[in-house]
Every structure is written in structure tokens, then in C-alpha cells.
Amino acid sequence: MEILFLGTKWKYDSFGIAALNESLINDVWNIDPEGSTIQMKCAVFDHLTEESKKDASLSSVELIGAKLPRGQKEFPDDISALDIHCINYFQDVDFNKRNFTFIVGHVPFLGNAPYNMSTYLKKHYNQVPRVILVIHDLPRDKDNKIDDRTLTELVQDAYLILSVGHQNFEWIEDYMDLRNVIHKLYLPYCPVEFFKISRPKVTTNDIKHSQHFLTFAAGKGTEEARGIDYNLAVKSSAMAVDRLLSTKMCRNSTEFHFITLGTSKNEKQLWQNMFESTTGNIGLEYNRLDFQYHELGGIENIKKYLKMGTLCSVHLKRNYCTLGIEALWALFAGIPVLVSSSAGISPFLKELYPGACDLIVDSYGNESRDSMAWAQKIQQQIQNPIRSQVIADVLQKRCLDDISIPKTHLDFVGQVISDITGIPSYLSERLCST
């Protein structure tokens, strides 16, 4: 059996699709590391490098690189353009030697792409692959409202839907007709390396050390799709720092750093301009909150910034249900987190630890009110470093112990095994867990 994953890039040099594909690939690899039963291919809208091919082969994955159509010099920044015209990028690929059972696509990024690819394979190669949709967030119309008509069209022809995070899962369960579709909750795999990050112990509530606020900016063209509110992240952090500087707990020598992790060094100026404009409007004393921009890079890069992070925050625009995978990384690394109430990870936080309600920030849809709410929560976290770290340590341990994350992975691979063997899904899940 062959599975084709559609993606924009390979591995953790990107948000969303790359991270989710790696998680799903890791699930399959764990039950069939030799690739003897399940062969995995990943078609990426990117130029392939020898390094990426070698890296993919370690997970028993063959990369299929897209080729730019004649007259086109580079891949479009807006990945929605890839959705509609995905076949144009794979016209030169010979699919005769392949026979895909599943094609994995992503909503709202590449929702139509797996169907377009499936139609193409059926027409030219007599293949009839089933579609697995991974729903990161709900598609939206031009007014930012959930586009349930588009979602209905995508969902009705899928074989399996994986909703990333509880919020998406519950919405689809409540509002979509799922009579002919298998629907599962999914939480991404987190690299075990994140558990092994060694961080200095917090022994005092005196704010004397450098404070590093981590925020993750979406790549160009995907900020809107991920619902990231970068302006809110900057404004609330600046307001919190302004308040902290007036407290006796904070020393004049304390440094505050606002670390933005993004997908491309070319975007540094974009985020820096937004940062300087926002902090300037607040009137925060110059250089009291330092801006830093770094590329997300691979796992080693992410580990480096997670290790220094004092607080990781996920600011979402109201009603967006994106998971907030960066918060999941921080949880696994034992770093204090704050997330928007609409983030898909917020119900998971509450399940792990009732006191986690303090880590969830309500969204009101009002810039001034939202900024005040976030600034207050950030200030509380920084002013009580011992308590913040105790809660982070508890959450990290419960992430290790909790069965929710492994269960969502068994749901996925169990369904795949069921399709191969004919064994009912609940039995195949048990089979792959032994």
C-alpha cells in the first residue's frame, strides 16, 4: 500500500503542513519502520535538495519534488494558488510505477489539492486513491466567517478526516454530515528531543534574569490562514513590560527580549517594522523590549530557542481554531505557556491540569480589551516565575503520562491498518500498540 502526502516543504522548516506531515509519517513509520507493508511518498511544492532526500529516506519516505510550470520562476508565496493548480507542478512525474491507496491533504491550505490529484491519477493512471483530510482550521470566506459550504464540499468526499485539536473536532461533529466519513481527533507528534531540553531551575521570584518572550510568526501568505495576531502579541508584551518595569521585583538591569521565530530570513524586516510601529505607539522606553528574529529551522534550532524561553505565547484572532503547535512544543519542553481560548490546544490544557485555566486568555474581539487581558496574564506569569515553572513542570510530566496523544495516533494508524487488512479499526489500533 502506498500513501501520498501533499506538502509545501519537508520537515520542521515550516509551520502547519510540514509539522503535521512529519507527525503522520512518524505514526506510520512506528508500525512499519522498514516500509515493507506501507510505502510513503511526500510530494512537496519545493525544490528538492540532497539533504532533504537523505533526511526523508531515514523515515522510509520518498520525496517527489514539484517542477515549476513553463514561464514560472518561483513557487507562489500564497499556498492557496498551489491548491487549485497543484497538477501543473507534477506534470513531468511518471506515476505509472506507483499505486496510491491514500492521498493526504490539508485544510484550509491544500483542501482541494488531494481531490485534484486523485482525479488526475484516475484519469491518466487508472488509480482511485482515497482522500485523508487533515483539518488545521476551518476554511473562511472573505469576511473571515467560517465557510461551511466549502467545508461541506471538502468533507463529503473524504474517506478519513483528522481534526487537529478539540475545537475543530467538536465543530465538525456538531455541524457536518459525517454519515459516510470516518472522523478522528488528532494531536501532532512532538519530537522526543523536546523532552530532553535542560533548562535552569527557577529558585526565586526576583525578576533579575533576562526574560525571553517567544512568539511564532506565520510565514508570508499564511498569517491569515493560521489566524496569528502578531500585532496583539507585540502590543500586549510591550504593555506587560511597561508594567513590570514599574514594580520593585524588576531590576533596572533586567533585559526583556521579544523573540520572533518565522519561516524565512527574508521576512525579518516585515515583522521588525510591525514591532517597532506597535511599541512606538505604546510609548515604551526605547530598547526596554528588544526585538529578535530567527528562522524556525530544524529541530536543533527550535530546541535552542525553547531552552532560553521564559514564556511561549500563542495569540490567535478571535474564533480561529488553529491548534497552536508551538504551545505543544513548549509544553513538552517544560516552558510556561499562554494560549488564546480559541486555540485547539486549550481544551487539552484543561484536561491535563485544572489550574491550566490561568494559561488561557479569553478573546473579546476588541483590540484594547484583548491587549489588556493578554498584558495582565503575561505580567502574572513573569511576576510569579516559581509558580509558572511549577505548573509548566506538572504539564510536561502529564504530557509524558497522558494517553490522549498516543490515542489520537492509534486512531489514525489503526484506520490505515484496517483498510489494508480488513481488521476492524478498534482491533487494529490494539494490534499496532503491541
Q: What is the pLDDT of residue 102?
A: 93
341 vs 158: CA distance, rounded Å: 29
Hey, what's the cell of 153?
Answer: 464540499
Residue 90 has pLDDT above 60, yes or no: yes
Reduced to 3 states (helix: H, G, I; strand: E, B; else coil), residue 213 is strand
Same domain, 316 and 332: yes
The owner of cell 484496517 is 418
Give the angle subtended at the CA of 416 by the CAs of 299 and 97, to the nearest 5°: 85
Distance in Å from the first CA to the final CA of the chain: 21
Distance (Å, rounded) from C-alpha 176 to C-alpha 179?
Answer: 9
Q: How far is CA 139 from the centre of its chain?
A: 16
DSSP result, 96-118 = TT--EEEEEEEETTSSSHHHHHH
Q: Per DSSP, what are the bridge partners of residue 351? A: none
Position 404 confidence tier, pLDDT thresholds 50, 70, 90: low
In a shared domain, residues 428 and 383: no
Residue 195: CB atoms within 10 A of its CB come to 13
User: What are the pLDDT digits (tens) for 68-86?
Assistant: 888 888 877 666 667 777 8
Residue 337 identity (one-letter amino acid): V
The rounded percent of the chain whose pLDDT value lies above 70 is: 86
CATH code, 204: 3.40.50.2000
Helix and strand numbers, DSSP H then E, in the chain = 16, 13
- Is the pLDDT assigned to residue 191 strictly greater than 60? yes
Q: Are residues 114 and 217 in the same domain?
A: no
Mean of per-residue pLDDT scores for the chain: 82
> Is cis: bond before 114, omega within 30 of 0?
no
| Structure-block grid coordinates of residue 89 | 507542478
Mean pLDDT of 187-196: 79
Q: How far is CA 291 from CA 69, 295, 302, in A?
A: 39, 14, 18
Residues 148, 261 share a domain: no
pLDDT of residue 135: 92
345 and 260 in a common domain: yes
Q: HEC states along 360-425?
A: EECCCCCHHHHHHHHHHHHHHHHHCHHHHHHHHHHHHHHHHHCCHHHHHHHHHHHHHHHHHHCCCH
Same domain membership, residue 304 and residue 183: no
Full-model pTM: 0.86
Domain count, the chain: 2
In the chain, pLDDT over 90 holds for what percent of residues?
A: 18
Domain span at 220: 192-400
Pair 289, 179 in one domain:
no
Place of cell 512532538: 190
| Residue reference for cell 485555566 | 357
Three-state secondary structure call for residue 132: strand
Task: Assess whether pLDDT exceeds 90 at residue 223.
Answer: no
Cross-strand pairs, 260: 215, 293
* Residues ≥6 apart with Cβ < 8 Å to 173: 183
Q: What is the pLDDT of residues 304-359, one digit of tens each?
A: 888 888 899 988 887 777 888 888 888 888 999 999 988 888 888 888 888 788 89
pLDDT of the residue at 222: 46
Residues 306 and 412 reside in one and the same domain: no
Grid coordinates given for 55: 533526511
CA distance 306 to 42: 28
Same domain, 197 and 107: no
DSSP string, 136-197: SS--B-TTS-B-HHHHHHHHHT-SEEEEESHHHHHHHHHHS--TTSEEEEE-----GGGGG-
Which pLDDT tens digit goes with each residue over 346-401?
A: 888 888 888 788 899 998 888 899 999 999 999 999 888 889 999 999 998 888 77
The mean-pLDDT minimum among 155-169, 174-188, 271-285 falls in 271-285
Q: Quick check: 261 and 217 in contact, CB under 8 A? A: yes
Supply the DSSP string of 61-88, one letter for each residue.
EEEEE--PPTT--S--SSTHHHHHTGGG
With residue 295 as reference, give the H or E element that holds it. Answer: strand 289-295
Q: Check residue 225 and give its pLDDT.
A: 46
Grade residue 16 by pLDDT with cuts at 50, 70 and 90: confident
Q: Are residues 220 and 354 in the same domain?
A: yes
Do 149 and 264 belong together in one domain? no
Q: Please state the length of the chain.
A: 434
Query: Which set of grid coordinates corresponds to residue 63?
Result: 520525496
> Do 214 and 306 touch, CB atoms closer than 8 A?
yes
Same domain, 69 and 209: no
C-alpha 23/C-alpha 281 separation (Å) is 41
